[in-house]
Structure 1
Amino acid sequence: MTIDDLPTAEHTHDEAAPVDDLWFADGNLILKAENSLFRIYSGLLGARSSVFKDMFGFPPPEGGNTMMDGCPIVTVYDSAKDMAYFLKAVFDSSYFEPPPSPTELPIVEAVLRLSLKYDVQYLRRRALHHLSSTFPMTLDGWRDRDTFRTIPPVDNTPFAAFRIAREFDLTWLLPAILYCVSSHPFEKTLDSAPWGNEELAFGWEDKRMAIIGRQKLLLMQHRSAVSMAKLAGTKIEDCTGATCSSTKQRCADILGGWDMAGFLDYFEDHADIYEDFCPACNAAFKELCAADSDEMWTKLPELFGLPNWETLERSRVTALE
């Protein structure tokens, strides 16, 4: 059985089975999580984790440990999937490297959870850096996220990331996550979003925060559409294009018709429309979009009732210590 073959908690087998990827023939300890067995090296695990180091220092239980192939079996009360990802990160140096190496959100979540529980600080920091690369705290970082993100944009990733941010109190990730949530159909926030075998649903307080913040975000977006429409009715000095006004109005109509977030990428994503602008109008339109994007990003935490960026940055620095 490999990591990918591990059953979920809802579909475990009756008998414990070795996980091939984490079954070392010369290992001296077997960890049992749910119905999965991992034969590993206690010395190396203890060197990485102060919690396991202390655990291995305890005297064995009265009557001794259950044995298998000459190795003691120690039961841990974590999901087999989480434990597999965590142990793979510990024992395979190429499996969970820091950014810019790519990874996947379920791996990040599992490694973060167990590196906190078992005190493996370098893995904890790696997990946080991966989350930061995908949900940045600056507008420049947002615009470059497709280049630097290490977690792929699998559908409904923001909803899963929101759960992680809440579970581990990573408030500094929430503005970017909630902006992404606001770019999805409203029904996902109101009801739930599928993620693997799960349906991810917000609790009432988080749902209220996401809905009210989304509404404020869309109001800002619609104000930008009005500004575009006003620009369409204004003769730009040095304008040389016959279709510039109609093109600006078209841009305003597109943005004004959206019922989900998207303005931060609006200028970059609609470059095909701007081919009809003359150079002067293109510059004026770009300046309008840049100014409104800067304002939206600056106000993003406030829209969702979160602390300002400076406060969130201090939280991020503290978390990475």
Structure 2
Amino acid sequence: MFGAHAAKRARTDDHYASSSTTRSDIWHSDGSLVLQAGTTLFRVHWSVLSTHSTVFKDMHSTPQPNLSGPTVEGCPVVELHDDPLDLENVLRVLYDPTIFLQQEHKFVLVASLVRLGRKYNFRTLWKAGVGILETAIPTTLDQIDMLRENNYQVKGIINHPGLFVDILGLLRENDILTLLPCAYYLVIERYSMRELFDGVARGDGTTATLAPEDLRQCMLSRDTIIRHQCEAGYSCAWALSAPASTPGLVRTGNVCSNIAACTAMRASYMSRFMRHPSLLPASPTSTQFIWRYGFCASCREGVVATIKAGRTKGWEDLPGFFDLAPWSELKNEE
């Protein structure tokens, strides 16, 4: 491919200069090869690509047969089966790493770093893309509490409607398993059923939609989480338990001072829960909620303790709700 004669080069130059291709503004006059993605051409340097990518390094070092392959301005053309925007984003970062100094990045840039970073073993770019995602997606209960307090405005990525849907698809596509449980959870918590099925308008005329397998997982897991809420050990277990009428039935060992009222409060909460099921493994304990329901001091302390323990258990079990391995076993495949 890379040993074309001058006459052949002239012919292929004419071909690639035709209206069927477009030159990107990433066009270095001293570049040593031309990358083609779709109908877009990029003139770059073997040295730059080889320094950062073992795939391009191996490609460059492999002897090529003396065939009259296509060239542009004397440079061999390497056709890549990638989205031109992904390639453009990666090349811009390679030639201008100061882009990483920005506090926030567009999701499309992060996606490009992850996709092509993994495909061509741009190891530094892969790590950078995953690092930005790790900044955006919580991996602890405290972090998800902070995200909710911040109205789901993530750090590191410029927010747009449907962002969590886009992130979930990227994580699944590239086996970034460490972030998957929380990404799934944020999708089913943040978006309505209609949005899950019909997609979320991003605001630029496009729609963020779940892949069929992700939609199926979200629906099954949402049902599983709701059904687990009131089971022993989880956040809403208190609502199906009777107030302690004898010592030792609550953590404090105290008895309920108003069994009729506290029983009614539990029934009232369950009635509300049945109408509006919540997803509590990652929701913070609400002091206002406890006081609003008017429990006696003993029951109030018991409810707070149950919710706190249930949140911890819910978070520990979160991967399993989405048919994933436990937290300790989740690894990212590069």
Evaluate the alpha carbon distance shift between residue 306 and residue 104 of structure 1 in structure 2; reply closer, same or farther with a 3 A threshold.
same
* 1:46–1:283 CA distance, 2 compared to 1 (3 A): same
In the alignment, is residue 217 of structure 1 matched against residue 225 of structure 2? yes
Quote the residue 2:43 is aligned against: 39
**Aligned twin of 1:127:** 129
Indicate yes or no: 2:238 matched with 1:227.
yes
One-letter identity of the residue aligned with 2:221: G
1:292 — aligned with what? 310
Give per-residue Cα distances to partners, 1:205-243, cap 9 Å, x unaligned: x44332221012123446645736979999x98xxxxxx
In structure 2, the residue matched to 1:185 is: 192
Question: Aligned residue for 2:177?
Answer: 171
Partners of 2:24 and 2:65 in 1: how far apart? Answer: 25
Q: How many residues align?
A: 294
Which letter does structure 2 place at the counterpart of 1:212? Answer: L
Matches within 5 A, 1:95-114: 95-96=99-100, 101-114=103-116
Local SS of the residue matching 2:35: strand
The alignment yields a C-alpha RMSD, in angstroms, of 4.1
SS of structure 2 residue aligned to 1:300: helix
Give the Cα–Cα distance (whole angstroms) in 2 for the partners of residues 225 and 253 of structure 1.
Answer: 12
Post-superposition offset of 1:266? 4.2
TM-score by length of 1: 0.72
Structure 2: gaps (5+ residues) = 1-17, 246-251, 255-260
TM-aligned CA distance change 1:89 to 1:249, over 3 Å: farther
The Cα of 1:114 is off from its aligned counterpart by 1.0
Give 1:159's match in structure 2, choosing from 154, 157, 165: 165
Pick aligned residue for 2:96 from 70, 92, 95: 92
Which one has the largest radius of gyration? 2
Q: SS at 2:78's partner residue? A: strand
TM-score by length of 2: 0.69
Deviation per CA, 1:300-320, whole angstroms, max 9, x where unpaired? 1122222112212xx24xx47
Structure 1 distance, partners of 2:99, 2:300, is 46
On the 8 A contact 1:222/1:256 being kept in 2, the answer is no
Which residue number in structure 2 is paired with residue 17 of structure 1?
22
Tell me the distance in 1 between the aligned counterparts of 2:88 and 2:287.
45
Gaps of 5+ in 1: 1-12, 238-243
Structure 1 CA distance for aligned equivalents of residues 98 and 302 of structure 2: 48
Percentage of matched positions with identical amino acids: 23
Q: 1:217 corresponds to which letter in structure 2?
A: I
